[in-house]
Chain A
Amino acid sequence: MTTLAGDQPEYFNPVSAPDFLMKDQLQRLQLQRLKRIVKRAYDNVELTRNRMDDVGINPEDIKTLADISKLPFVYKSDLRDTYPYGLFASPMSEVVRLHASSGTTGKPTVVAYTQDDIDVWSSVMQRAFASCGVHAGDIVQNSYGYGLFTGGLGAHYGAEALGATVIPVSGGNTDRQLMIMKDFGANALCATPSYFLHIIDRAEQLGIDLKDMPLRVGIFGAEPWSEPMRTHCEAAANMKAYDIYGLSEIIGPGVGSECRCQKGLHIFEDHFYPEIIDPETGEVLPEGQEGELVLTTLSKDAMPMIRYRTRDITSFITEPCECGRTLRRINRIGRRSDDMLVIRGVNLFPSQIESALLKVENAQPHYQIILTKEKGLDQLEIEVELTAEMFSDQVSKIEQLQKKITHAIETTIGISAKIRLVEPNTIARSEGKAKRVIDKREQ
């Protein structure tokens, strides 16, 4: 096990051992778990049983890992259609926890955990922290929202299991966050990237230099964020910023995480089996090709997800990682297949707007895309929050900035957009996640 010692030996945590399994060991474990979970879902979840019966497949037909491609997909809409408890495979007497999505489009989607599921969740979050260089003795300020949202409690349990000190501050009240960060000496911070941006802005307004804080590591997730944004965050606080991936339907945060190499996210494959498929045909794509990430929970008892369509677009990184982890890596998720907007025939992903804004000096990536139709033609308007750094008492300076942003966006996406500068905090945020797109074209 020499690879184990190679990865930050002074802090090696035994819980990370599955990160370094030999490929055949891992695959044996995955197959054993896959067989069990497919049978569990077939026996206990009506929707899974009906779907499998429809295509004439039995749990016994799963003999190899490749056989997974014979199984039908599960979609987000299935959670809504069976609201609230229709996809549970455990009796309520064994369910110890429920979480739910924010439900911006009507009813929330509900997810369930047994005690074993919670333990698995804590262990994968613990491994995520460890791979980002957080260890026992660190002080973790957890600014993910606590509550129905999985972010807060997921990170909380993981950091506690790691042996770190958790500050369960939750999201919001930024002035107090800054005070606590300084006074309690937090050296790791968990937040959505858009909330961390807000912390940076507020610190600047208050004349607080985040570089003077003991912050060493930022763990940012729950929404896509770009490489220029990483540079921005790392420079503002003199810290390392890591991307962490997860979704409540699968478990919450802790499905995958970056390591110190910051080159893609390792998926905790011993619990979550990843596939990349062509979102149009549903076919599994050759390794390395970009497509939609599909995940299967290999050990989640209360609510097994077999081939869940995440809508996140990514690809596998085929080379082994320098950190020594044998877990497969995916590229950072910059976009979701349902995020793609088609404007006047041109494909646009919100993340492109973020990258364009970060190219403009002083501009901050607090934005919202508003789509309307005028005389049958799509109109693209982008609202950008004007922060203190961007503001001037002179109209001409602000208009110059507006022009620079217009130009940066046009050269990035290839179509022109109207840029409207808006007051800070006017763009709606839920659970710290910013709402990026308002499409009024269909109304």
Chain B
Amino acid sequence: MKIKQISVFLENKPGHLSSICKLLADAQINIVTISLADTEDFGIVRLIVKEWEKAQQLLTDNGATVKVTELVAAEVEDKPGGLNKILEIIDSSHLNIEYMYAFTYRAKESAIMVFRFNNPEEAIALLSSKDVKVISEADLFAITE
């Protein structure tokens, strides 16, 4: 049920992000979603792509520092209170969200929220037990294609 995310270390300099995107574009790898965490000096680009192994290899071969982590993706109703419902479930547990980001997709009345938990397995069990739809990698790529 977990989703693979590729993180890439970036110096905060012009052209560095686009060089990564260009590599992926040239290899015909589609970015499902991208999120950027940045500080004054450096940034971390987080990418979800279907062919994550190919992307990891490609970026590593081109000298990038890459790490693969596992996230939990959940469907969130695209209306007021949609996200809050999920956060309340998490708050009531001892799970910790390291970071999260959202994206929407076409022809659906909901958004996808991806979470980086300290313990993804436990999070999946908890969310599933509270009727939150946890999205598998197969489902994610099926609906985003």
Contacts and interface: CB of A to CB of B under 8 A. Distances in A.
A395 B65 contact: no
B42 A421 contact: yes
A388 B67 contact: yes
A393 B42 contact: no
Interface string A399-443: 100000000000000000000111111100000000000000000
Contact of B10 (A392, A423, A425): A423
**Prevailing SS type, chain A contact patch:** loop
Interface string B15-32: 010000000000000000
A398 interface: yes
A391 interface: yes
B37 interface: yes
A205 B56 CA distance: 11
B65 A394 contact: no
**Prevailing SS type, chain B contact patch:** strand
Interface in A315-372: none
A386 interface: yes
A395 B35 CA distance: 13
A4 B11 CA distance: 56
Given A422-B11, A423-B10, A395 B66 contact: no
A423 B41 CA distance: 11
A387 interface: yes
A205 B65 CA distance: 9
A422 B16 CA distance: 12
A392 B63 contact: no
Interface in B1-22: 5, 7, 9-11, 16
Interface residues of A, number: 19
A393 B10 contact: no
A395 B7 contact: no
Interface size class of B (residues with CB under 8 A): 20 to 34
Contacts of A388: 65-67
B68 to A, nearest CB: 9
A75 B98 CA distance: 58
A399 B64 CA distance: 19
A182 B39 CA distance: 41
Nearest to A175: B61
A394 B41 contact: no
Nearest to A201: B65
Nearest to B5: A393
A205 B98 contact: no
A387 B42 CA distance: 14
A394 B9 CA distance: 10
A392 B99 CA distance: 13
Nearest to B66: A388
A46 B37 CA distance: 64
B128 interface: no
Contacts of A392: 7, 67
Interface of A: 205, 386-388, 390-395, 398-399, 420-426
30 contacts: A205-B60, A386-B9, A387-B65, A390-B65, A391-B7, A391-B66, A391-B67, A392-B7, A393-B5, A393-B44, A393-B46, A393-B69, A393-B116, A394-B44, A394-B98, A394-B116, A395-B37, A398-B9, A398-B42, A421-B9, A421-B41, A421-B42, A423-B10, A423-B11, A423-B16, A423-B63, A423-B65, A424-B63, A424-B64, A426-B11
Given A205-B60, A398-B9, A425-B63, 7 more contacts: A391-B7, A392-B67, A398-B42, A398-B44, A422-B11, A423-B9, A424-B65
Interface of B: 5, 7, 9-11, 16, 37, 39, 41-42, 44, 46, 60, 63-67, 69, 98-99, 116
Name the 5 nearest CB pairs between A and B, nearest first.
A393-B7, A391-B65, A393-B69, A395-B37, A425-B63
